[in-house]
């Protein structure tokens, strides 16, 4: 036993030990990092939306700002592991795993968050009505075809209807003053509300209008839709007040939109994908079964076909699995269904390098070399084939990753990443790990227990490097 | 020892016999039935745009919710021309009718009210309904996807050709290796596209983003297999004895790498079969395509790529149209 082998063994033990520790870490954390598996949308349910700006003049900076606003709103929703990223020049990808009400989530993302107070000319406008104001004379919501909702008729009247005078400008909202509150100061029967305050001209305008119109209604308009039309009981000093809502869900949505600012550009939903949690759980269960079945069958095949080397390769395969999972947890990599398929496929690749080496080992042994030489030659001679073939798969996985990136579909990226990692990790386990194990195991070998290697010299041809070796 | 190289034109014939029916459904059939030129593949919403609704009706058999009734509900809710596919599934351990509906994509400005209208109508018509999946892809994205899909396949092929030419730079005629590997790759792509066209024509198989992923994986695995054989040829050429002809070297190399090719194919078959059996409905088509492609990839690396090197060595195409049987025994030409 040479010291180099011992160092290799030590390295393997450390790597495998760390990987196992990450996988079985108590409280699911390693060096302060959360190492739970991250499951993609297809595995835990949730929604992915691709938002696109309709404004042709939108700059990259504006899209970036919009993404920032959306990110803050998404964080306000309280779902974990969300993704908000800019794709291309005019798109934002948002992923919200585990969201139970996708429609509401989409509303929260897209609401531009522009708060206005309008003078309804003494009328009470029903809640939800889309109105035209001097601040936004052509709201996008009016342009949408919306044939079967109750507000249809009202909407159409509004499209040609009056343009109401805006008292405030959304830009003057003091976001730091936006707070959750209760109407009527929290007394019995009060409702969830959002406190707000305006600055500058809007504050002055609001104070002036309310003091002049006590007893008359004033409408609160959020993103061109009427929230409510309360009667003014008293003047709103310094332009501050509260918006009363019907439920805490509504309250949180409005709070979110006001607090985290307005979107600088209008956004439409270009693509959306929702998956239910039950479908995701089904997929997790079936993937685990498939993974275990695949691992067992491949390990069995290796042991039966290649005996001792096969057994050591199967052991290396287990280390491979532990390392891969450790990396998935540590980086972390979000696992998707195709991602798991990529991992299971890479099991086949991990074994391929070993199959190449062992086939070569048998060949060299049959040509009359002793087992140690055959072993070393097996590794050396098969290296170019292993290197070149894996290089081509790495090229493909990189192309797939780039393609998945531009595509905005995380599922393809998931497959590319696990395939890529699978190749890199398998090169380590199939070559370093198996080689070290085999070197340490060669002292066991003698002509009597040649069966351990599944080889014998009965049909050995003359030592002839170009003679074909029937290796099976 | 079996002489695999001598029968090379048989191997090419087998490949053609498998690929030609697929090509018929890929190119000719749409021309005959549709009258215009288009590719005979069924694009999924990823590439054509549209919406896919995966709905389940708990406690109902597929017979309880008829296709026409669902089409009606969707039409009344503003989605004309919905395509409906019925199957049975289980929901929380209980049987449920599962319905896949393809419609136009959701409105970009106000998708939620469209969704609400459809679900309200479905509830009125059929009672309880759960939404398992709802995907909507707008036209801009689907066009871009199609473009980047083509770029991805061409880009990957180009990089692999460059890499192969570089990896085999020390062998005589390195470009031949790259080109022959690419032809073998093209064989696999045509075969898989043909199979997809046939399955699409008869069973409604759709080509989606996952199909493309499978195709690219097949490309890389095909080259992977080819490289292993080529690498042996390169090695045997270096150790070549005087007077040994190229055909024999190629044949030796194929036979020597055959155990590895078979064993690797077997292990991959095992893992893919496990995925096919237990791996969940949504990736079943993906795995099936991979399975077909990987088998084709192994075949093409042994029976096409390596054999084409021999064809090239002898420049056999000069004789193809002069003699009746170009595959018959030729005088051994020392290369």
| Alpha carbon distance B134, A276 (integer Å) | 9
Same domain, A128 and A242: yes
| Alpha carbon distance A429, A437 (integer Å) | 10
Same domain, A101 and A126: no
User: What's the full length of chain B, in residues?
Assistant: 335
Question: Among candidates A10, A20, A29, which has minimal Cα distance to A323?
Answer: A20
**Does a structural domain hold residue A268?**
no
**Does a structural domain hold residue A469?**
no
Percentage, residues of chain A above pLDDT 70: 82
Same domain, A52 and A156: no
Same domain, A224 and A133: yes
| Alpha carbon distance A138, A224 (integer Å) | 9
pLDDT higher than threshold 70 for residue A446: no
If one compares A237 and B202, the residue with the highest pLDDT of the two is B202
Domain count within chain A? 3
Asked if A359 reaches chain B (Cβ–Cβ under 8 Å), the answer is yes
Confidence class for position A85, pLDDT limits 50, 70, 90: confident
Mean pLDDT over all residues of chain A? 77
**Does a structural domain hold residue A340?**
yes
Among A206, A233, A249, residue at a domain's last position = A249
Q: For chain B, report the end-to-end CA distance as a whole number of angstroms.
A: 21
List of residues 6+ apart from A369 with CB closer than 8 A: A377
pLDDT higher than threshold 90 for residue A344: no
Asked if B167 reaches chain A (Cβ–Cβ under 8 Å), the answer is yes
Same domain, A90 and A158: no
Same domain, A429 and A349: yes
**Does a structural domain hold residue A265?**
no
| R_g over Cα of chain B | 25
Phi, psi of A399 (to 5 degrees): -60, -45
Q: Which of B108, B133, B134 sits opposite A268 (nearest CB)?
A: B108
Q: Which stretches within A331-370 are classed as H helix? A: 337-366
**Does a structural domain hold residue A269?**
no
Helix (H, G, I), strand (E, B) or coil at A386: helix
Domain formed by B8-35+141-318, architecture:
Up-down Bundle (1.20)
CB A414 within 8 A of CB A339: yes
- Which fold is adopted by the domain B50-137? Alpha-Beta Plaits (3.30.70)
Q: Tell me the domain boundaries of chain B.
A: 8-35+141-318, 50-137
If one compares A318 and A27, the residue with the highest pLDDT of the two is A318
Helix (H, G, I), strand (E, B) or coil at A455: coil
Half-sphere exposure of A74 (CA within 13 A, CB side): 27
CATH of the domain at A60: 3.30.70.3400
Cβ within 8 Å, pair B235-A395: no
| Alpha carbon distance B136, A271 (integer Å) | 5
Is the whole-model pTM more than 0.80? no
Same domain, A293 and A223: no
**Contact map slice: A 16-45 vs B, CB within 8 A:** 42
CB B69 within 8 A of CB B33: no
pLDDT number for residue A185: 57
Give the number of beta-carbon pairs within 8 Å between A and B.
258
Mean pLDDT over all residues of chain B? 83
Quick: pLDDT tens for B224-263: 888 889 988 988 888 888 888 889 999 989 998 888 888 8
Structure tokens at A385: 């084939």
Confidence class for position A138, pLDDT limits 50, 70, 90: low
- Helices then strands, counting H and E runs in chain B, come out as 11, 6
**Contact map slice: A 163-192 vs B, CB within 8 A:** none
* ipTM value for the complex: 0.77
List of residues 6+ apart from A77 with CB closer than 8 A: A96, A99, A105, A108, A256
Would strands A83-87 and B50-58 be described as parallel, antiparallel, or unpaired? unpaired
Instruction: Enumerate the β-bridge partners of residue B58.
Output: B96
| Alpha carbon distance A426, A434 (integer Å) | 10
Among A70, A85, A108, residue at a domain's last position = A108
Chain B residues closer than 8 Å to A400 by CB: 152, 156, 213, 216-217
Same domain, A287 and A403: yes
- Strand stretches in B92-203, DSSP E: 94-103, 130-137
Would strands A38-39 and A334-335 be described as parallel, antiparallel, or unpaired? parallel
Asked if A268 reaches chain B (Cβ–Cβ under 8 Å), the answer is yes
Cβ within 8 Å, pair B271-A298: yes
- Strand stretches in A24-183, DSSP E: 29-30, 33-34, 38-39, 46-53, 83-87, 91-97, 115-119, 132-133, 163-166, 179-182
CB B190 within 8 A of CB B290: no
Same domain, A286 and A400: yes
**Contact map slice: B 280-319 vs A, CB within 8 A:** 280, 282-283, 286-287, 290
pLDDT higher than threshold 50 for residue A144: no
pLDDT higher than threshold 50 for residue A21: yes
Same domain, A97 and A128: no
**Does a structural domain hold residue A160?**
yes
Same domain, A104 and A123: no
If one compares A151 and B2, the residue with the highest pLDDT of the two is B2
Would strands A33-34 and B94-103 be described as parallel, antiparallel, or unpaired? unpaired
Burial of A394 (0-12, 13-18, 19+ CB in 10 A): middle
CATH of the domain at A229: 3.30.1360
Give Cα separations from A99 to A214, A258, A278, B108, B116 (angstroms): 43, 21, 13, 20, 17
Mean pLDDT of A76-100: 79
If one compares B127 and B39, the residue with the highest pLDDT of the two is B127
pLDDT number for residue A320: 92
Structure tokens at A359: 């086939």
Mean pLDDT of A43-52: 86
| Alpha carbon distance A387, A214 (integer Å) | 82
Indicate the DSSP class of residue B241: P
**Contact map slice: A 406-425 vs B, CB within 8 A:** 406-409, 411-412, 415, 419
Q: Which of A39-48, B146-155, B172-181, B310-319 has the lowest mean pLDDT?
A: B146-155
| Alpha carbon distance B77, A147 (integer Å) | 8
CB A407 within 8 A of CB A334: no
Containing domain of residue A26, as a range? 3-38+276-453
**Does a structural domain hold residue A257?**
no
Asked if A390 reaches chain B (Cβ–Cβ under 8 Å), the answer is yes
Same domain, A302 and A449: yes
């Amino acid at each position: 036993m040479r010291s180099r082998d011992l160092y290799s063994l030590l390295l393997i033990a450390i790597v495998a030990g760390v990987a196992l520790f990450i996988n079985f870490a108590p409280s699911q954390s390693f060096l302060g990092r959360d190492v739970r598996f991250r499951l993609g949308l297809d595995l835990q349910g949730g929604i992915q939306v691709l938002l696109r700006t309709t404004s042709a003049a939108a700059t990259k900076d504006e899209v970036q700002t919009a993404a920032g606003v959306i990110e803050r709103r998404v964080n306000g929703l309280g779902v974990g592991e969300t993704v908000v990223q800019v794709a291309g020049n005019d798109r934002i990808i948002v992923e919200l795993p585990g969201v139970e009400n996708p429609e509401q989530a989409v509303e929260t993302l897209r609401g531009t968050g522009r708060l206005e107070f309008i003078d309804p000319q003494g009328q009470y406008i029903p809640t939800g009505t889309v109105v035209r104001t001097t601040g936004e004379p052509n709201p996008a919501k009016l342009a949408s075809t919306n044939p079967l909702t109750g507000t249809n008729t009202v909407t159409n009247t509004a499209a040609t209807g009056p343009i109401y005078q805006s008292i405030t400008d959304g830009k003057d909202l003091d976001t730091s003053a936006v707070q959750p509150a209760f109407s009527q100061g929290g007394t019995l029967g009060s409702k969830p509300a959002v406190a707000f305050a305006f600055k500058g001209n809007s504050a002055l305008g609001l104070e002036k209008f309310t003091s002049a119109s006590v007893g008359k209604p004033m409408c609160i308009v959020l993103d061109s839709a009427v929230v409510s039309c309360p009667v003014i009981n008293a003047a709103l000093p310094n332009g501050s007040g509260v918006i009363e809502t019907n439920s805490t869900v509504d309250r949180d949505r409005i709070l979110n939109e006001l607090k985290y600012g307005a979107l600088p550009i209008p956004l439409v939903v270009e693509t959306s994908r929702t998956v239910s949690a039950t479908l995701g759980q089904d997929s997790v269960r079936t993937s685990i079964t498939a993974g275990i079945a695949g691992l067992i069958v491949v390990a069995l095949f290796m042991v039966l076909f290649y005996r001792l080397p096969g057994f050591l390769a199967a052991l290396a395969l287990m280390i491979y699995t532990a390392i891969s999972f450790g990396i998935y947890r540590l980086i972390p990599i979000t696992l998707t269904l195709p991602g798991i398929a990529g991992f299971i496929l890479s099991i086949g690749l991990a074994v391929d390098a070993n199959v190449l080496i062992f086939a070569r080992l048998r060949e060299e042994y049959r040509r009359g070399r002793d087992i140690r030489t055959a072993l070393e030659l097996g590794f050396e001679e098969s290296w170019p084939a292993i290197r070149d073939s894996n290089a081509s798969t790495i090229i493909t996985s990189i192309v797939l990753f780039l393609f998945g990136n531009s595509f905005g579909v995380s599922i393809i990226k998931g497959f590319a990443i696990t395939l890529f990692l699978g190749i890199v990790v398998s090169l380590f386990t199939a070559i370093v790990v198996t080689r070290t194990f085999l070197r340490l195991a060669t002292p066991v070998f003698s002509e009597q227990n040649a069966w351990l290697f599944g080889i014998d010299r009965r049909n050995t041809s003359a030592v002839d490097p170009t003679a074909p070796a029937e290796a099976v | 020892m079996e002489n695999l190289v001598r029968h090379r034109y048989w191997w090419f014939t087998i490949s053609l016999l498998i690929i030609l029916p697929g090509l018929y459904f890929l190119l000719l059939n749409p021309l005959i039935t549709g009258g215009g030129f288009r590719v005979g593949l069924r694009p999924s919403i990823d590439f054509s745009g549209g919406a896919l609704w995966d709905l389940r009706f708990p406690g109902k058999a597929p017979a309880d919710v008829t296709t026409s009734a669902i089409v009606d509900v969707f039409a009344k809710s503003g989605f004309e021309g919905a395509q409906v596919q019925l199957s049975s599934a289980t929901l929380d351990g209980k049987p449920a009718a599962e319905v896949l509906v393809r419609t136009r994509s959701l409105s970009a400005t106000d998708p939620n009210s469209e969704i609400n209208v459809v679900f309200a109508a479905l509830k009125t018509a059929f009672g309880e309904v759960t939404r398992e999946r709802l995907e909507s892809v707008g036209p801009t994205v689907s066009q871009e996807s199609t473009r980047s899909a083509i770029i991805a396949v061409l880009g990957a092929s180009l990089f692999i050709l460059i890499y192969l030419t570089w990896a085999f730079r020390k062998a005589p005629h390195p470009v031949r290796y790259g080109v022959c590997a690419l032809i073998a790759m093209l064989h696999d792509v045509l075969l898989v596209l043909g199979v997809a066209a046939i399955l699409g024509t008869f069973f409604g198989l759709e080509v989606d983003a996952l199909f493309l992923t499978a195709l690219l994986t097949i490309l890389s695995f095909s080259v992977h297999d080819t490289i292993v054989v080529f690498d042996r040829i390169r090695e045997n050429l270096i150790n070549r004895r005087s007077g040994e002809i190229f055909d024999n070297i190629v044949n030796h190399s194929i036979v020597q790498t055959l155990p590895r090719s078979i064993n690797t194919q077997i292990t991959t078959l095992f893992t893919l079969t496990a995925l096919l059996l237990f791996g969940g409905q949504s990736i079943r088509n993906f795995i099936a395509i991979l399975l077909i492609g990987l088998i084709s990839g192994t075949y093409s690396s042994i029976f096409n790529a390596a054999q084409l090197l021999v064809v090239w060595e002898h420049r056999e195409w000069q004789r193809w149209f002069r003699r009746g049987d170009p595959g018959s025994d030729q005088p051994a030409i020392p290369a």
